[in-house]
Amino acid sequence: MERTCDCCSNPAVVHETLMTGGVRTEVHLCAEHAVERGYVLPTSIGPALVVGKLLEKATQAAARTTKACPTCAMTMQVLRESGLVGCADCYRHFEDELGAIIARTQEGAAAHVGRHPAQASSLIDRAALRNRMVRELREAVAREEYERAARLRDEMHGLGLDASATEATAGEADGGAGA
Amino acid sequence: MSAPSTPNRAPTPAPLADSVLSSRVRLARNLVGFNFVNRSTHQQLSDIVLRVQSARFGGPFAAGVRWVNIQGTAPVDRQLLFERNLISRPFVDSTHPRCVAISSDESTSIMVNEEDHLRLQMLAPGMRLRELSERMIGLDQSIERSLEFAFHPRFGYLTACATNVGTGIRVGAMLHLPALAIVQELERVQRAAKELHLAIRGFHGEGSEALGDFYQVSNQTTLGRSERDIVEEFADGIVPRFVEWERGARRILLERDPGSLDDRVHRALGVLRSCRLLSLEESVKFLSRVRLGVSLGRITDVPLELVDRLLLESQPAHLVRATGCELGNGRDDRGARADLMRASLR
């Protein structure tokens, strides 16, 4: 059976077995993630494909840094320089970028637990929130970030969300947000 | 504006007062429908002030709200509010439209247009974080009945600095750790603070020095944990642990060399009772030593509340308001401070 990458669902092209202190660990990575982690690949694997994918990522990242928030015209570049977010809509517009920054500064926490305004109950799309957290949970497990994975499970539990691996469709997420 | 003669201090010893000068809880909130302060025009900031002033505040404000327009307030009175921990240093120095609501007992303030539209803050002497946080949540709920706050299902309450999102709560304690400083174990506190993701700051908050071995310790993680969890960890774990370390260091000092300890605290009291010129740094240093002596029962004729009151009243704007000396004039300031100490500690 073909092995898939530890970090995504693409076929693995790098297979490594490590023995550390008598403990055996296996690493399986696709070309893209292998390059990201510093493995030098033979040309037969298709460096052009890998470089192309990386370039695509870099282009996407560059586009994200120049796109402006439609509400306050904040850009990621200005945000990084000032350290301040411009408005509430920036959090939706730059959700991925801010999510990564926030995770770094908040001990890896991914989602709010605790009080919320009464008016906000209807805003909480629990299915989307659960799916996002399930994806982050899977990624954490794939990267062997077990503390973060445990933290995510605790947060989902705190939010009344099902932490099993299957993503839900809209309206399926159960439980209620605690005020 | 005049400096009240009796500051915000409890008449009876507060919990853990030997090592905890005060407790603080702060919430950051932003209004729906407005850009954050850093992306707002002066007109929009003025509109935010009007919007917040039209809201109803409960809790400590139920008996009335005192609004202070900072733009129209004299520099000495801004400084006075800062020294009383009712506003922050950036709030003193900014030039944009902003104001602060102060409760009649001065336990609570709401800065409008600081880094966030609203910064709610409650203070109490000693270790009272649990009580403060309950009162703060009550106040927040009362305000939410008339103001809608920006909220995101994933990031929680939204704030101008992404490091405050989630609950938007910061809980903190001003710790008095003179014995740990003497036995040179403050590094232990610094190390623990780092491991526990705590911010550790000086006497006047962010960017200030740790005068007199007073340290503000507060949480840095605001996302992924409930308000209750954050407060309980602080009230039941972090603060008692630091207090126990400080008490352990005090026991060591008493066992090893009580003579040196007595000399240190009584010499400080002697300076305060005899000096003619006293800088702010000196007053905090000597009051810190006297405070240690009072807490350990080595000085018996000075109440702890008086020491804490002098820590506040010996600050520059308080001296200006009490004596009329010039703000920033070093010599006048030092003479007035020395006079205050001699008169109060006779």
Where does residue A4 rank: exposed (0-12), middle (13-18), buried (19+ CB within 10 A)? Answer: middle
Euclidean distance between CA atoms B262 and B284, whole angstroms: 18
- R_g (Cα) of chain A, nearest Å: 19
CA distance B282 to chain A (A): 36
Question: What are the φ and ψ backbone dihedral angles of B198, each rounded to 5 degrees?
Answer: -105, 150
Nearest by CB to A129, from B34, B154, B225: name it.
B154
Give me the mean pLDDT over the A2-10 stretch: 79
Predicted confidence (pLDDT) per residue in B217-257, tens digit: 999 999 988 999 999 999 999 999 999 999 999 999 999 99
CB atoms A86 and B228 under 8 Å? no
How near does any CA of chain A get to the CA of B44, in Å?
13
Q: Which of the pair, A128 or B282, is modelled with greater confidence? A: B282
Cα-based torsion angle of the residue sequence B278, B284, B288, B293 in order, rounded to the nearest 10 degrees: 20
Closest residue in A to B32 (Cα–Cα) = A88
Residue B153: list chain A partners with CB under 8 A: 111-112, 120, 123-126, 128-129
- How much is the pLDDT for A8? 81
* CA dist., res. B137 & res. A160, Å (int): 22
Does A96 reach chain B within 8 Å, measured CB to CB?
no
Q: Is the CB of residue B41 less than 8 Å away from at least one CB of chain A?
A: no
Residue B76: how many CA atoms within 13 Å on its side-chain side?
Answer: 17
Residue B84: pLDDT band by 50, 70, 90 thresholds?
very high
- Token digits of residue B206: 């962010």
Looking at beta carbons, which residues of chain A come within 8 Å of B149?
117
d(CA B46, CA B40): 10
Give, for B172, the enclosing helix (H) or strand (E). Answer: strand B169-176
3-state helix, strand, coil in chain B (%, to 5): 50, 15, 35
For residues B320 and A158, what is the distance between their CA atoms, to the nearest angstrom? 52
Query: Which residues make beta-bridge pairs with B157?
Result: B151, B166
pLDDT given at position B201: 84
B135-187 pLDDT, tens digit each: 999 999 999 999 999 999 889 999 999 999 999 999 999 999 999 999 999 88
State the alpha helices, DSSP H only, in B27-116: 42-53, 75-83, 89-93
Is B166's CB within 8 Å of A99's CB?
no
